[in-house]
């Protein structure tokens, strides 16, 4: 009969040689199962005399423990091998591209709208709106542009027949500027007034810098003490925040708008390179907006006493701001719905504009 | 407005440089658009003398020169036929840029001989047109001096004149502004008065003195209109882009630009009877000198003889009675027309002319006789002839009303501190008569200014001359904590844009106009909102929907090969012609596949449920009732009748969505399907104030929820939404979610039936559900679905 040592050696060898979990289990059952060889020997202990029983039992327990430990150890080894084999099998080419996701874009005009709102909001302005189709009173007459005013000819106005009058002079117009919102605001609100009015505007013109529809933002401040010095401060603060440069050269030129007096145009300094425009310094000037102190006749037309109140107004082209800030060369492309253009010049939807968090992340560049 | 430096100096005594003049013009409000100064490009060019001139050994027309630059003698090869020994010309040394070619001159090698520079023609220097030979200067010209010092170079200024500054449409007005700004002295205007030697044979009568307060006529006999206009006048006119036509025309053009004084000359021999200045009769015919015929109305001022209207007063002369080369006897008109009459007629008949441009802005009403004298003197000088006595109808007695200026208003309106005596100095220099009355200045504007009406106008004159740059910049005072900048409605439009872009759509901005031929599909009322004067035939209507423009945009992208198009726009649509008859809409379209083919698959065609999802997302982003709105199937006819729907709250339509109708797509030349949505932002109810509101308390159950599936067989026309609603309503407390996970029609189902499989979530509130409780809930669902939809549980 096989002695305990030989048995242990054989079992341990068999365990170590088990090629997989199944073979290991068979070996375990053959040794430790109900009819296993160790179990059988345990059963045989009862027949032995008491003095031998203790010693033999001790030996058998040692054997059993050794076998159990060996099985456990081999099991761990085999499981590790098995896991490694599975992992090796599961490996995939992670250089493959991800599932397609489409990230949309916000149009530059909307982005500029949000930037402008953020900046003027900081200065206490509210956003006002008005209709795209206007009557001539709000678009012209109330703004000190009576029917035969030369400035009125310069605006290339689109007309819409008045359904209630066949007379051409009663025609409605598609607003030529956002300035009628000045009048509508004055009609509905008592001073102090601080509003901006962004929106669509229309003139019959078409080239690289003129389109029949474009966007303006109007500004209007009315109270008892606002002067041209505030106008200059307000606009300087605006351009500096908008172009995100600390030092920006500006100059004001006297100009003429029927609805402001004195009137001015604001230029900003820039450097024109071959394919690049650097805003802020340099020896070139870029015309950027028109402004002035609200004409007393305009205040009166809006129902505000010009002897008591005064203030300033300005108008900026939103598209023009977008072209300058984001280097877009041709205005016409804004309105062509070309997906390649929208993807390139558009803004990622989560890039919100604020003065607390900045107007844009990373200059609004998309991934 | 253009003028040359020499022309300006005719009126302004100044030592200022071209740059100083340009800078000052812009500073006082006469914005410089361009200064064309050929001298600026002539740095490095000097005078030089040809010491030796022999033929090139290998050429029959090239010369080999020794050119003395005053510093050195250089070998130069020259092809000009007029080069001779001792010629003094303009020498371009190696390294300078030749203005005409805009290229740097290098050492040349011409037929084997090196050339170290060149002698230039006028054209090469951009100072003239002559390219037949090199410039040849007088023999006494010194050698080695800068070219700009010896050449007759007259820089040209181009400035833009705002409508209020009509007097600066003449060089003298510009000179006056510059003088007032401290750039020199305005020279006195010396106009030679011609005394007539005989009585004018043309009688003149002004019928409408309101429209024409002053009319002067000067008859001149025996002129020679074939005479040559003097070179100085021709050169100045050419510099501002006017061709010399005949001396009579040139003189009137010159005075128009010199003094901003329009004039007109009739061929007096063609006039029949005297001149009458009157309103035209309704329908009276007038043929302009451009050959266009007009039927005038009774608000058009005519200069008429017995034959009818011969000149549309202050706007344009007539075809019949104008001057020609053979003209001998002339009548020179110089008159004051009411600007509003000119503007009305010009606008009504859409006639553009230099004369109208000036007359409708402002022409000095007291400059008629002076203008006539000036022209008479020039005509006599150039064309000869003999002048009659001038006929003057009306009186040159215009005087503007005084305007008050409280000196402190310069500070309180413009924010600029200017002492009172400086204010007076500036206004006086500009031609104002200033008097002091108490604490107020009374200023009478000069007759050449028609734009000064109120105190603010005078403040502008002062700050314009002081310079706007002197006004300090003061940040807006923060009087109180700012209110919310965007209203709730404005704010949610922003959120909707970001939501749609976040859903993979590209925001676009398209015209508010569209093509009426395509817009017809989308009109909700019978009326098209058409423009009277569209810029193009395909942009002739205010869009009744955003969709046609999105489809046009999609079509262009598809034509470029885009297999997937997702575009949206937030903007107005128009339903009427009156102000305010517009709605703000968020509209979008999707075409093609969700993506290009990918190694993992998953790409699919966009369908109506993408459009529905977009619409719901937009409504939700606008804080609208996306989950409680009903879906009905009565979308407008431009949608596919069986694949479209409306999201509504009763009568109030929040949104439409669906596939677009194939016949609409055909009109847009789009093959394949397009899904679309339109969300009416104005129709989404605004929350009734958000102030102080908190959210509903969150009730969380600690007990596990249970998911169960049930399938129902219902009639084919039963909407899925009613099955879902019935299931939800079976036990609102415990059924927290109902999903449709399968819809089936076909084999194993009776004719006219379909199966809808629901996934249900049961949520216990007090304790974990027992099997019996779950069974009871399912029975409730089966019962309720059966009651509401006749649906039976599918076995």
- Reported as a single tens digit per residue, the pLDDT across A122-173 is 999 999 999 999 999 999 999 999 887 777 776 689 999 999 998 888 999 9
What single DSSP character describes residue B662? Answer: H
Q: Smallest Cα–Cα separation from A177: which of A325, A316, A299?
A: A316
pLDDT value for A150? 72
- What pLDDT band is residue B658 in, cutting at 50, 70 and 90? very high
Best B31, B502, B509, B589 residue to mutate vs chain A (most A CBs within 10 Å): B509
| Nearest-CB residue to A99 (from B416, B576, B598) | B598
pLDDT value for A159? 94
Q: What is the mean pLDDT of residues A332-341?
A: 96
What's the predicted TM-score (pTM) here? 0.86
Rounded to the nearest integer, the mean pLDDT of chain A is 91
DSSP letters for A232-262: HHHHHHHHHHHHT-S---EEEEEEEETTEEE
| Nearest-CB residue to B413 (from A200, A255, A310) | A310
The CATH number corresponding to B706-793 among 3.40.50.300, 3.20.20.70, 3.30.160.270, 3.30.70.380 equals 3.30.70.380
Q: Phi/psi class of residue A70: alpha, beta or left (left: φ > 0; alpha: ψ in -120 to 50)? A: alpha
pLDDT value for B330? 95
The CATH number corresponding to B2-37+155-186 among 3.10.20.310, 3.30.56.10, 3.40.718.10, 3.30.420.40 equals 3.30.56.10
| CB-CB under 8 Å, B415 with A227 | yes
**Is the per-residue pLDDT at A366 higher than 60?**
no
Q: Chain B contacts of A102, Cβ < 8 Å?
A: 504, 564, 566, 594-595
pLDDT digits (tens, 9 = 90+) for B168-209: 999 999 999 999 999 999 999 999 999 999 999 999 999 999
The partner residues of A219 in beta bridges, in order of sequence, read A196, A314
Q: Which residue of chain B is at minimal alpha-carbon distance from A171?
A: B532
Q: Phi/psi class of residue B273: alpha, beta or left (left: φ > 0; alpha: ψ in -120 to 50)? A: left
| CB-CB under 8 Å, B595 with A237 | no
Per-domain boundaries in chain B:
2-37+155-186, 40-150, 204-393, 403-470, 488-683, 706-793
**Level-2 CATH architecture, domain B488-683:** 2-Layer Sandwich (3.30)
User: Looking at CA atoms only, how far is residue B25 from chain A in angstroms?
Assistant: 10
CB distance B676 to B589 below 8 Å: yes
| CB-CB under 8 Å, B360 with A335 | no
| CB-CB under 8 Å, B556 with A337 | yes
Separation of first and last alpha carbons in chain A: 79
For chain A, positions 285-314, list CB contacts with chain B under 8 A.
Answer: 293, 295-297, 310
Q: What is the mean pLDDT of residues B389-413?
A: 95
pLDDT value for B614? 98
pLDDT digits (tens, 9 = 90+) for B578-624: 999 999 999 999 999 999 899 999 899 999 999 999 999 999 999 99
Q: What is the mean pLDDT of residues B471-489?
A: 89
Furthest-apart CA atoms within chain B: distance in Å: 129
Q: Do domains B2-37+155-186 and B403-470 have the same CATH topology?
A: yes
Cα separations (Å) of B519 from B258, B542, B543, B546, B552? 53, 9, 7, 10, 11
Q: Which CATH class is domain B403-470?
A: alpha beta
Determine what percent of chain B is predicted with pLDDT higher than 70: 99
| CB-CB under 8 Å, A228 with B490 | no
pLDDT digits (tens, 9 = 90+) for B500-540: 999 999 999 999 999 999 999 999 887 899 999 999 999 99
Identify the CATH number of the domain defined by range B204-393.
3.50.40.10
pLDDT value for A341? 96
pLDDT value for B129? 65
Four-residue CA torsion sign, B117, B122, B124, B126: positive
pLDDT value for B322? 87
The partner residues of B708 in beta bridges, in order of sequence, read B760
| Nearest-CB residue to A121 (from B480, B485, B581) | B485
Best B498, B503, B505, B617 residue to mutate vs chain A (most A CBs within 10 Å): B498
More confident residue, B121 or A182: A182
| CB-CB under 8 Å, B512 with A132 | yes
| CB-CB under 8 Å, B473 with A120 | no
For chain B, positions 477-506, list CB contacts with chain A under 8 A.
Answer: 477-480, 482-487, 490, 494, 497-506
The answer to whether B474 faces chain A, any CB pair under 8 Å, is yes
pLDDT digits (tens, 9 = 90+) for A267-319: 999 888 777 788 888 888 989 999 999 999 999 999 999 999 999 999 999 99
Spatial distance between the Cα atoms of B99 and B41, rounded to a whole number of angstroms:
6
Rounded to the nearest integer, the mean pLDDT of chain B is 93
pLDDT digits (tens, 9 = 90+) for B253-288: 999 999 999 999 999 999 999 999 999 999 999 999
Q: What is the mean pLDDT of residues B374-399?
A: 95
The answer to whether A221 faces chain B, any CB pair under 8 Å, is yes
Q: Which CATH class is domain B40-150?
A: mainly beta
The answer to whether A341 faces chain B, any CB pair under 8 Å, is no
Helix axes B771-789, B720-730, angle to 10 degrees: 140
User: Looking at CA atoms only, how far is residue A90 from chain B in angstroms?
Assistant: 17
pLDDT value for A362? 59
Q: What is the mean pLDDT of residues A198-221?
A: 94
**Is the per-residue pLDDT at B304 higher than 80?**
yes
Q: Chain A contacts of B403, Cβ < 8 Å?
A: none
For chain B, positions 59-98, list CB contacts with chain A under 8 A.
Answer: none
Spatial distance between the Cα atoms of B757 and B735, rounded to a whole number of angstroms:
16
pLDDT digits (tens, 9 = 90+) for B135-166: 888 888 898 888 888 887 889 999 999 989 99
pLDDT value for A1? 55
| CB-CB under 8 Å, B412 with A227 | yes
**Is the per-residue pLDDT at B70 higher than 60?**
yes
**Is the per-residue pLDDT at B689 higher than 80?**
no
The answer to whether B597 faces chain A, any CB pair under 8 Å, is no
Determine what percent of chain A is predicted with pLDDT higher than 70: 97
Q: Which CATH class is domain A108-364?
A: alpha beta
pLDDT value for A365? 56
Per-domain boundaries in chain A:
4-90, 108-364
User: Looking at CA atoms only, how far is residue B607 from chain A in angstroms?
Assistant: 16
- Torsion angle, CA of A286/A290/A293/A299, rounded to 10 degrees? -170
Other residues' Cβ atoms within 10 Å of the Cβ of residue A80: 10
Other residues' Cβ atoms within 10 Å of the Cβ of residue B352: 11
User: Looking at CA atoms only, how far is residue B656 from chain A in angstroms?
Assistant: 22
pLDDT digits (tens, 9 = 90+) for B347-364: 889 899 989 999 999 999
pLDDT digits (tens, 9 = 90+) for A8-29: 899 999 999 999 999 999 999 9
| B434 SS3 class | strand
The answer to whether A207 faces chain B, any CB pair under 8 Å, is no
Q: What is the mean pLDDT of residues B109-129?
A: 85
Q: Which residue of chain A is at minimal alpha-carbon distance from B560?
A: A338
| CB-CB under 8 Å, B486 with A336 | no
């Amino acid at each position: 009969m096989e002695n305990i040592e030989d048995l242990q050696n054989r079992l341990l060898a068999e365990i170590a040689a088990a090629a997989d979990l199944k073979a290991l289990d068979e070996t375990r059952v053959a040794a430790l199962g109900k009819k296993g060889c160790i179990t059988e020997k345990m059963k045989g202990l009862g027949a032995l005399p008491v003095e031998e029983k203790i010693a033999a039992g001790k030996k058998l327990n040692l054997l059993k423990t050794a076998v159990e430990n060996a099985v456990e150890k081999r099991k761990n080894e085999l499981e590790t091998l098995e896991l490694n084999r599975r992992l090796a099998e599961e490996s995939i080419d992670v250089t493959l591209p991800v599932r397609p996701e489409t990230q949309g874009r916000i149009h530059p005009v909307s982005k500029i709208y949000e930037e402008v709102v953020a900046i003027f909001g900081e200065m206490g302005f509210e956003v006002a709106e008005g209709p795209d189709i206007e009557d001539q009173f709000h678009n012209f007459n109330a703004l000190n542009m009576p029917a035969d005013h030369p400035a009125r000819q310069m605006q290339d106005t689109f007309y819409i027949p008045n359904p209630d009058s066949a007379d051409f002079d009663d025609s409605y117009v598609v607003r030529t500027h956002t300035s009628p919102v000045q009048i509508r605001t004055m009609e509905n609100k008592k001073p102090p007034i601080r509003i901006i009015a962004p929106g669509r505007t229309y003139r019959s013109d078409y080239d690289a810098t003129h389109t029949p529809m474009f966007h303006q933002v109007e500004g209007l401040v009315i109270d008892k003490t606002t002067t041209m010095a505030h106008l200059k401060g307000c606009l300087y603060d605006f351009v500096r925040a908008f172009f995100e440069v600390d030092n920006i050269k500006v100059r004001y030129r006297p100009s003429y708008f029927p609805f402001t007096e004195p009137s001015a145009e604001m230029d900003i300094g820039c450097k024109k390179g071959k394919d690049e425009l650097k805003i802020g310094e340099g020896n070139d000037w870029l015309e950027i907006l028109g402004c002035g102190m609200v004409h007393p006749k305009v205040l009166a037309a809006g129902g505000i006493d010009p002897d008591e109140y005064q203030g300033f107004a300005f108008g900026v082209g939103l598209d023009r701001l977008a072209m300058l800030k984001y280097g877009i060369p041709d205005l016409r492309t804004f309105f062509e719905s070309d997906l390649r253009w929208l993807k390139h010049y558009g803004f990622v939807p989560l890039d919100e504009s604020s003065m607390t968090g900045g107007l844009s992340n990373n200059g609004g560049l998309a991934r | 407005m253009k003028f040359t430096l020499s022309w300006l100096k005719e009126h302004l005594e100044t030592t200022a440089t071209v740059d100083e003049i340009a800078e000052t013009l812009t500073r006082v409000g006469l914005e410089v658009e361009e200064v064309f100064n050929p001298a600026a490009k002539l740095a490095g060019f000097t005078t030089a003398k040809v010491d030796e001139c022999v033929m090139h050994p290998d050429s029959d027309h090239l010369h080999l020169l020794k050119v003395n630059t005053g510093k050195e003698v250089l070998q130069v090869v020259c092809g000009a036929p007029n080069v001779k020994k001792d010629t003094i010309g303009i020498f371009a040394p190696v390294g300078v840029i030749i203005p005409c070619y805009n290229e740097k001159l290098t050492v040349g090698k011409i037929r084997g001989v090196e050339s170290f520079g060149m002698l230039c023609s006028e054209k090469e220097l951009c100072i003239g047109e002559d390219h037949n030979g090199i410039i040849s200067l007088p023999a006494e010209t010194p050698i080695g001096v800068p070219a700009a010092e010896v050449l007759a170079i007259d820089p040209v200024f181009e400035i833009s004149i705002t409508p209020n500054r009509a007097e600066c449409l003449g060089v003298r007005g510009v000179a006056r502004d510059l003088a007032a700004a401290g750039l020199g002295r305005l020279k006195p205007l010396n106009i030679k008065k011609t005394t007539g030697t005989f009585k004018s044979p043309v009688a003149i009568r002004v019928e409408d003195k309101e429209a024409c307060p002053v009319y002067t006529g000067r008859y001149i006999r025996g002129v020679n209109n074939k005479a040559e206009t003097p070179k100085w006048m021709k050169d100045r006119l050419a510099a501002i882009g006017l061709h010399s036509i005949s001396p009579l025309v040139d003189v009137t053009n010159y005075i128009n630009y010199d003094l901003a004084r329009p004039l007109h000359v009739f061929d007096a021999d063609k006039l029949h009877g005297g001149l009458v200045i009157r309103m035209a009769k309704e329908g009276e015919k007038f043929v302009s000198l451009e050959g266009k015929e007009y039927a005038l109305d009774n608000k058009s001022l005519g200069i008429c003889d017995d034959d009818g209207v011969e000149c549309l007063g202050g706007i344009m002369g007539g075809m019949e009675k104008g001057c020609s080369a053979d003209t001998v006897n002339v009548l020179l008109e110089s008159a004051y027309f009411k600007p509003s009459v000119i503007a009305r007629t010009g606008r009504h008949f859409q006639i553009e002319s230099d004369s109208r441009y000036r007359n409708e802005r402002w022409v000095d009403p007291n400059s008629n006789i002076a203008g006539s004298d000036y022209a008479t003197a020039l005509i006599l000088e150039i064309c000869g002839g003999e002048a009659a006595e001038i006929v003057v109808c009306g009186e040159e007695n215009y005087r503007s009303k005084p305007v008050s200026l409280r000196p402190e208003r310069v500070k309180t309106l413009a924010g600029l501190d200017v002492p009172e005596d400086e204010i007076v100095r500036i206004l006086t220099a500009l031609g104002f008569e200033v008097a002091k009355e108490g604490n107020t200045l009374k200023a009478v504007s000069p007759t050449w200014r028609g734009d000064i009406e109120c105190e603010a106008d005078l403040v502008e004159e002062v700050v314009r001359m002081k310079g706007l740059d002197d006004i300090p910049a003061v940040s807006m005072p923060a009087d109180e904590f700012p209110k919310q900048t965007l209203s709730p409605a404005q704010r949610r439009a922003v959120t909707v844009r970001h939501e749609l872009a976040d859903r993979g759509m590209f925001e676009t901005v398209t015209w508010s106009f569209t093509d009426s031929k395509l817009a017809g599909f989308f009109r909700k009322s019978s009326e098209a909102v058409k423009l009277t004067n569209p810029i193009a035939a395909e942009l002739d209507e205010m869009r009744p929907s955003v969709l046609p423009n999105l489809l046009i945009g999609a079509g262009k992208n598809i034509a470029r090969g885009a297999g997937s198009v997702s575009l949206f726009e937030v903007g107005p649509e128009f339903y009427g012609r009156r102000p305010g008859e517009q709605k703000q809409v968020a509209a979008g379209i999707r075409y093609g596949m969700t993506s290009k083919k990918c190694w993992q698959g998953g790409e699919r065609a966009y369908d109506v449920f993408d459009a529905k999802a977009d619409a719901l997302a937009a409504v939700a982003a606008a804080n609208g009732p996306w989950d409680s709105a009903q879906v009905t199937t009565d979308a407008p006819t431009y949608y596919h009748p069986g694949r479209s729907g409306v999201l509504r709250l009763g009568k109030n339509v929040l949104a439409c969505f669906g596939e677009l109708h194939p016949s609409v797509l055909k009109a847009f030349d789009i093959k394949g399907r397009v899904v679309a949505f339109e969300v009416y932002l104005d129709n989404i109810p605004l929350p009734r104030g958000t102030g102080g509101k908190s959210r509903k308390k969150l009730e969380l159950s600690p007990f596990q929820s249970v998911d169960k599936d049930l399938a129902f067989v219902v009639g084919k026309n039963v909407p899925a939404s009613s099955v879902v609603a019935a299931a939800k309503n079976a036990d609102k407390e415990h059924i927290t979610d109902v999903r449709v996970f399968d819809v089936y029609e076909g084999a194993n189902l009776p004719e006219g039936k379909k199966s809808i499989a629901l996934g249900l979530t049961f949520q216990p509130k007090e304790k974990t559900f027992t099997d019996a409780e779950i069974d009871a809930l399912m029975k409730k669902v089966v019962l309720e679905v059966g009651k509401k939809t006749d649906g039976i549980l599918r076995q």
